[in-house]
């Protein structure tokens, strides 16, 4: 092989390598979720689909319009913006979030330990503590095995239901 042919071959090979695409953000997110990098999988904004009876996940028992949002930041802080429940049978007049003198947006920190999410609110609305949740998450869906910010919305539900939060990615 002469030098000119070798040079053309090398340039062709280099240009083919340069054309290969790097993974998109969505592909990287799916890879993180599939490979168990749950902290990276959680990062981003999530819309609350509703509160579900733990024994019947087929349809929400309490819905929200507009939806509440949960944002997990890369620096391990979170923002939770609460809306009011719109399912009339579950909302009692004394269950108004505003009457608790709470800001509709709550802040705090979060961390992962295995499949357990620890959320620590930093406002004056709830006792400052780490609240553990066993989560199920993929690139599009997040389910918590409990609820954190919705007690005021569901105070008329009664204690027979164990309600859990389900989210979809924004």
pLDDT band at 73 (very low <50, low <70, confident <90, very high): very high
Q: Encode burial over 31-68: b for 16+ CB neighbours within 10 A, e otherwise.
A: ebbeeeebbbbbbbebbbbbbbbeeeeeebbbebeebb
Domain match, 76 and 152 both: yes
Query: Would you say residue 162 has pLDDT above 90?
Result: no
46-50, 56-60, 93-97, 147-151, range with greatest mean pLDDT: 46-50
Q: Which residues pair with 108 in a beta bridge?
A: 78, 121
CB within 8 Å of 98: residues ≥ 6 apart:
none
Domain match, 14 and 57 both: no
Domain match, 74 and 21 both: no
pLDDT band at 7 (very low <50, low <70, confident <90, very high): low
Domain match, 45 and 125 both: yes
Domain match, 25 and 97 both: no
Domain match, 138 and 153 both: yes
d(CA 12, CA 106): 55
107 phi and psi, to 5 degrees? -125, 165
Identify the pLDDT of residue 98.
45
Q: Give the mean pLDDT of the chain.
A: 76
Q: Pick the closest to residue 102 from 86, 121, 120, 76 (CA basis).
A: 121
Q: Within a 13 Å sphere around the CA of 78, how many CA atoms are in the beta-carbon half?
A: 26
Domain match, 116 and 54 both: yes
Domain match, 18 and 59 both: no
pLDDT band at 72 (very low <50, low <70, confident <90, very high): very high
3-state secondary structure of 135: strand
Domain match, 113 and 149 both: yes
pLDDT band at 81 (very low <50, low <70, confident <90, very high): confident
Q: Which of the two residues, 158 and 114, has the higher pLDDT score?
A: 114
Domain match, 119 and 99 both: yes
Which CATH number covers residue 80? 2.40.128.280
pTM for the model stands at: 0.73
Domain match, 104 and 119 both: yes
Identify the pLDDT of residue 16.
47
Query: From the centroid of its chain, how far is CA 39?
Result: 10
115: number of Cβ within 10 Å? 13
3-state secondary structure of 155: coil
* Domain count across the chain: 2
Q: What is the pLDDT of residues 105-154, one digit of tens each?
A: 888 999 999 889 999 988 766 677 898 988 989 999 998 887 776 654 44
Domain encompassing residue 29: 1-35
Query: From the centroid of its chain, how far is CA 30?
Result: 14
Domain match, 125 and 155 both: yes
Query: Would you say residue 33 has pLDDT above 80?
Result: yes
Q: Pick the closest to residue 44 from 10, 4, 65, 71 (CA basis).
A: 71
């Amino acid at each position: 092989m002469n030098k000119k042919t070798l040079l053309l071959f090398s340039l062709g090979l280099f240009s083919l390598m340069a054309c290969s695409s790097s993974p998109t953000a969505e592909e990287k997110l799916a890879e993180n979720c599939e490979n168990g990098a749950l902290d990276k999988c959680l990062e981003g904004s999530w819309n609350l689909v509703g509160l579900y009876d733990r024994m019947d996940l087929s349809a929400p028992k309490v819905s929200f319009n507009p939806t509440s949002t949960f944002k997990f930041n890369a620096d391990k802080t979170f923002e939770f913006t609460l809306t009011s429940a719109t399912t009339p049978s579950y909302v009692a007049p004394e269950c108004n979030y505003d009457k608790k003198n709470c800001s509709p947006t709550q802040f705090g920190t979060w961390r992962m330990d295995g499949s357990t999410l620890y959320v620590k609110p930093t406002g004056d609305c709830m006792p400052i503590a780490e609240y553990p949740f066993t989560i199920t998450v993929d690139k599009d869906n997040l389910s918590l095995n409990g609820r954190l910010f919705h007690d005021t919305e569901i105070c008329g539900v009664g204690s027979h239901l164990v309600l859990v939060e389900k989210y979809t990615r924004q």
